[in-house]
Amino acid sequence: MKAFTTNTNQLKRNLPLLGVASLALLSSCNSKQANVEKPLNIVYIMTDDHTQQMMSCYDTRFMETPNLDRIANDGVRFTNSFVANSLSGPSRACMLTGKHSNANKFFDNTTCVFDTAQQTYPKLLQQAGYQTALIGKWHLESIPSGFDYWEIVPGQGDYYNPTFIQQNLERVDKDGYITNLITDEAIDWMSNKRDPEKPFCILIHHKATHRNWMADTTHLALYEDMTFPMPENFYDSYEGRVAAASQEMSISKDMDLVYDLKMLYPNSNTTLTPYYKSFIGRMNKEQRAAWDKHYDPIIKEFDKAKLKGKELDNWKYQRYMRDYMKTLKSLDENVGRVLDYLEENNMLDNTLVVYTSDQGFYMGEHGWFDKRFMYEESMRTPLVMRLPKGYNKRGEINQMVQNIDYAPTFLELAGVEVPQDIHGVSLLPLLKGEEPKEWREGLYYHFYEYPAEHMVKRHFGVRTDQYKLIHFYDDVDVWELYDLKSDQSEMNNIYGKKGYEAVTADLKEKLTNLQVQYNDSIRHRFN
């Protein structure tokens, strides 16, 4: 397994880019926000791999997320919220630029470095007089630009006693659990480090709930008495779906007993891979003692049970669910801390609070963990917002929205003109309670990271309210079509089936139009 690190040398190589950012800052204060009577703040909280199934305001089957739900209950919940490319770095690049991957050029996690010279919404806000900050996971490899203040974790970051990279490029190890530390830093910046005279935009980017789901010592004991029914399609045969059949993200086959499921046999060297040592080794004595106290009896029981086949699959699934939920519980509590802070400081009325994730995730559907596919569980992402005074919409927003829409929304909210080249559309009319007559009919999606970890083939496609058309390409040339009304789990590929000729032709036309609109190259002929 690969340990991700943002290399300091690479950061230093990119130093000149900081000069560009500083110049932009110096020339900033011509301030289009003079047009805005009362500049509004933006608190943007984004998690990693948190999926709608695991958020009680979306799905009540699994766990309570009272603080995340608080945002939805006081504000709005987007019932049809999607990403453009279901992978961390690409998703983040889409959000920052408001553009699809082909335009922002951050196609995948493995080969790309984000070109920070390009236009992003934090830069535009900064130029308009906003104070901007970024805390937590960045994952775009270059030095953050467009932020007055930043503190990031290298690569994916570590759950325990993580290293942070500060603006002077120093690496600092902090004691504690990452979700608490990122929140501490965010609250500290809002309280003590920003210019209180200026409106602000802070991006709080969590590592949770990313693999390998290591809970805080304080949360290890949670959910152990709960068991969950396995999803109906856990034993999917992948019939008629070539790419689904060849992935490597199966709970049964690809989840690692030690790394993912924490079955680290005491006193055994055989299972101690250097990679595992590198993160379990970050714990201090007390943390390790609490960890072992929790897991040792589970390991012993597991060792004795000698589970096989479906029993073993079920055991893996239960452990996966519980560990994921434990890390999510910390996250929910920390979002509560941010909301409390804003409330106690009377900031809620003039602040837009956004909660989302970099993509959705599989919780055993199709037998999987991870994301990447254009299928519903991973193309969807949670999106709830608490709105500032004057924005009167409450409850559900059902229009299809995508993470490229965040940038224009925040810019318009701040009174900054939205540049023409942005692909997304502002959600502000929806937040005001308007029902725009014309809204997008189809969402465009394009995933590129192949061959790579989890082996999900390259694909692009279009999703409408009722249908999804996907084209897998590169080392295959196959199409899939789903009727989302009758086949929500996307098990039945109806591409090429009799009766769907007109639907298919219409979707292909929509797909072509979207590729033209976004200037994405059409890689294959459509017939």
377 binds, among Ca ion, ligand SGN, none (CB under 5 to 8 A by kind): none
- Residue identified by tokens 């030095």 is 143
Strands (E) across 34-114 are located at 41-47, 76-78, 81-82
Preceding omega of 180 cis (within 30 degrees of 0): no
Give the nearer residue to ligand SGN in terms of CB position, either 194 or 326.
326
324: helix, strand or coil? helix
Number of H helices, E strands in the chain: 16, 16
**DSSP sequence for 339-397:** HHHHHHTT-GGGEEEEEEESS---SSGGGB-S--SSSHHHHB--EEEEPPTT----EEE
Report in angstroms how near the CB of residue 468 gets to Ca ion at its nearest.
Answer: 21
**Of the listed pieces 19-27, 74-82, 208-216, 349-357, which binds ligand SGN according to CB under 6 A?**
208-216
- Asked if residue 158 binds ligand SGN (CB under 6 A), the reply is no
- Give the x/- contact pattern for ligand SGN in 330-359, rule: CB under 6 A: ----------------------------x-
**Closest approach of ligand SGN to the CB of residue 417, in Å:** 32
Binding mask 449-488 toward ligand SGN (x if CB under 6 A, else -) reads ----xx----------------------------------
- CB-CB neighbours of 425 under 10 Å: 21
Closest approach, Cβ 355 to ligand SGN, in A, equals 17
Q: Which residue is nearest to Ca ion (CB)?
A: 88
Site for ligand SGN (CB under 6 A): how many residues?
Answer: 16
Interstrand relation of 171-173 and 200-205 (parallel, antiparallel or unpaired): unpaired
The dihedrals phi and psi of 174, each to the nearest 5 degrees, come to -115, 145
Q: Nearest residue to ligand SGN, using CB? A: 88
Report if residue 449 touches Ca ion, rule: CB under 5 A: no
Report residue 391: phi and psi, to 5°: -105, 110
Report d(CA 310, CA 398) in Å as an integer. Answer: 38
Among 21, 54, 63, 87, binds ligand SGN (CB under 6 A): 87
Measured between alpha carbons, how far is 328 from 443 in angstroms, rounded to an integer? Answer: 29
Both structure tokens of 347: 């900031």
Q: How far is CA 146 from CA 95, 187, 296, 403, in A?
A: 14, 20, 46, 19
* Of residues 88 and 183, the one with the C-beta less far from ligand SGN: 88
Pairing mode of beta strands 459-463, 467-472: antiparallel
Q: What would the two tokens of residue 405 be?
A: 């829409």
Q: Taking CB within 5 to 8 Å according to partner kind, which of ligand SGN, Ca ion, none is near residue 483?
A: none
C-alpha 496, offset from chain centre? 33
The whole-angstrom separation of Cα 370 and Cα 249 is 6
Residue list 26-55, contact with ligand SGN (CB under 6 A): 48-49
Write out the binding residues for Ca ion, residues 28-67 only, by CB under 5 A.
48-49
Strand order across the 478-483 sheet: 443-447, 459-463, 467-472, 478-483
Q: Using an 8 Å Cβ cutoff, are 430 and 424 in contact?
A: no
Choice between 6 and 493, CB closer to Ca ion? 6
Does 211 help bind ligand SGN (rule: CB under 6 A)? yes
Residue closer to ligand SGN (CB basis): 370 or 480: 370
CB of 89 to Ca ion, least distance (A): 9
How many other β-carbons are positioned within 10 Å of the β-carbon of residue 332?
23
* Residues counted in the chain: 527
Question: Tokens 């953050």 map to which residue?
Answer: 144
Contact region with ligand SGN (CB under 6 A), list: 19-27, 128-136, 207-215, 505-513: 207-215
Single out the residue of 33, 109, 116, 409 in contact with ligand SGN (rule: CB under 6 A). Answer: 109
What would the two tokens of residue 21 be?
């950012």
In this chain, which stretch among 67-75, 206-214, 473-481, 502-510 interacts with ligand SGN, using CB under 6 A? 206-214
Q: What is the pattern of x (binds Ca ion, CB under 5 A) and - over residues 329-368?
A: -----------------------------x----------
Q: Does 403 bind ligand SGN (CB under 6 A)?
A: no
> Between 108 and 148, whose beta carbon lies closer to ligand SGN?
108
**Among positions 67, 88, 314, 351, the unique one binding ligand SGN when judged by CB under 6 A:** 88
Per CB under 5 A, 88 contacts Ca ion: yes
The size of the interface with Ca ion (CB under 5 A), counted in residues, is 4
- Interacting residues toward Ca ion by CB under 5 A: 48-49, 88, 358
- Interacting residues toward ligand SGN by CB under 6 A: 1-2, 48-49, 87-88, 109, 139, 156, 210-212, 358, 370, 453-454
